[in-house]
Amino acid sequence: MAGIKTGKEMSIIEARHVVKRFGQFTAVDDVSFAVERGEFFALLGPNGAGKTSTIRMIYGFSPLTAGRMEIFGLDIGSEWRKIRSRLGVCQQENTLDPDLTVAQNLFIYSRYFEMDKAVARRRAEELLEFFALTGKRGAKVMELSGGLAKRLQLARALMAEPELLILDEPTTGLDPQSRHQVWDRLFELKKRGLSMVLTTHYMDEAENLCDRLLIMDHGRIIAEGRPQDLIIAHAAESVIEIDGPSAELRNYVKQHAVEHDDLGERLIIYAEPRGELESQVREKFCVESCRFRAGNLEDVFLRLTGRGLRE
């Protein structure tokens, strides 16, 4: 069969024409992608795009309606136990065990993986240290703030030394300090060669952390690539935002067929960095409220998925 890979070059995740239906509703609609070993991969998309549904099929929580999902080259349908013993999951909702203390949460989790008890104790200590939770080891989970709870969930996902870490919105609801702390940890893990799959609604997070990403909407993949390539392809390296654009500016933009989005109150122009267009706009139209900035993933995301609210 064509496309079969062996040994080192084998993808860590290979999703082929994956479909997930809930009754009549199709949450994931014919999605195919691959994640390579050591890669930091992101799944982006508006609320309800199908990110969590996709992720749940990766770790065998939800059965596939159609298609095939291979993790570590093993089929998730039949080899789920082997696969799950090699990956760590930080779920979107808080699934920490509120009946247990912080340290017990880690230890009991290791039992589900049948880790050696002495190794597990050592590992728990390391992780408490790594996530700055040592002082809270005896605390009840209910007493933890959102940031601490998320860090504990991350620590728990790493207990069994996974080869693949799955992170479903690991920083949602965290303050900037906690968010940066989590990022630092993820960077550190990436340096150690851990493969990761992340979902997030923070575009800066995906842009900073990820090697490659895909954007989903309505259960389908609408873009895929490296953050910088996507920015160049779907937005621009340089962006000009003009508040309260004048009629002349609108005319100019139309006449010169400039790549732009007209939001009524605001005009966004996608330009080349330090190009002709940029200096023209700067000289002619930027009397007061103009912002020149680099294009980013948020531009890509909004351009591809639209600015309308999701239900």
Partner 1 sequence: MSRVHLTDISLRFRHIWFRNLITYHRIWKVNFLVPLLEPAFYILAFGLGFSGLVGRVSYAGMQLEYTRFMAPALVATACMWNSFFETTYTSFVRMYYQKTFDGILATPVSVEEIIIAEIVWAASKAMAAVAVMLAVLIPIGYANFPGALLCIPLAFMGGLAFASIGMFFTGIVPTIDMFNLPIFLFITPMFLFSGTFFPVSGIPDWAGICSLAFPLYHMVELTRFLCIGAIESQPAFNLAYLLLFTMIFGYLALGAMKRRLIK
Ligand X SMILES: Nc1ncnc2c1ncn2[C@@H]1O[C@H](COP(=O)(O)OP(=O)(O)OP(=O)(O)O)[C@@H](O)[C@H]1O
Determine phi and psi for 271, rounding to 5 degrees.
-130, 175
Q: Of Mg ion, ligand X, partner 1, none, which one sits near residue 95, judging by CB under 5 to 8 A according to partner kind?
A: partner 1
Residues 6+ apart with CB under 8 A from 87: 59, 71, 162, 163, 164, 165, 166
Determine phi and psi for 270, rounding to 5 degrees.
-100, 120
Shortest gap between Cβ of 63 and partner 1 (angstroms)? 5
- Judged by beta carbon, residue 112 or residue 187, the one nearer partner 1 is 112
∠ CA 225-226-231, nearest 5°, is 95
- How many angstroms separate the first and last alpha carbons of the chain? 43
Would you count residue 22 as binding partner 1 (CB under 8 A)?
A: yes
Task: Give the one residue of 13, 15, 27, 103 binding ligand X; rule: CB under 6 A.
Answer: 27
Shortest gap between Cβ of 83 and partner 1 (angstroms)? 8
Q: Which of 297, 224, 305, 193 is nearest to 34 (CA)?
A: 224
DSSP for 176-208, written as a single string: HHHHHHHHHHHHHHHHTT-EEEEE-S-HHHHHH
State the burial class of residue 65 (Cβ atoms within 10 Å of its Cβ: 0-12, 13-18, 19+): middle
Would you count residue 74 as binding partner 1 (CB under 8 A)?
A: no
Residues 6+ apart with CB under 8 A from 163: 12, 37, 72, 86, 87, 194, 195
Would you count residue 94 as binding ligand X (CB under 6 A)?
A: no
Shortest gap between Cβ of 31 and Mg ion (angstroms)? 15
Would you count residue 45 as binding ligand X (CB under 6 A)?
A: yes
Would you count residue 6 as binding ligand X (CB under 6 A)?
A: no
Distance of CA 49 to the CA centre of its chain: 13
Task: Give the one residue of 39, 40, 41, 53 binding ligand X; rule: CB under 6 A.
Answer: 53
Tell me, residue by residue from 61 to 100, as one string, x for binding to Mg ion by CB under 5 A and - for no binding: -------------------------------x--------
Q: Of partner 1, Mg ion, ligand X, none, which one sits near residue 310, judging by CB under 5 to 8 A according to partner kind?
A: none
Task: Give the one residue of 16, 19, 48, 296 binding ligand X; rule: CB under 6 A.
Answer: 48
Alpha carbon distance 38, 226 (integer Å): 15
- Contacts with ligand X, residue ranges (CB under 6 A): 22, 25, 27, 45, 47-53, 92
- Contacts with Mg ion, residue ranges (CB under 5 A): 51-52, 92
- Contacts with partner 1, residue ranges (CB under 8 A): 22, 56, 59, 61-63, 80-82, 84-85, 88-89, 91, 93-100, 104, 108-109, 111-114, 157, 160
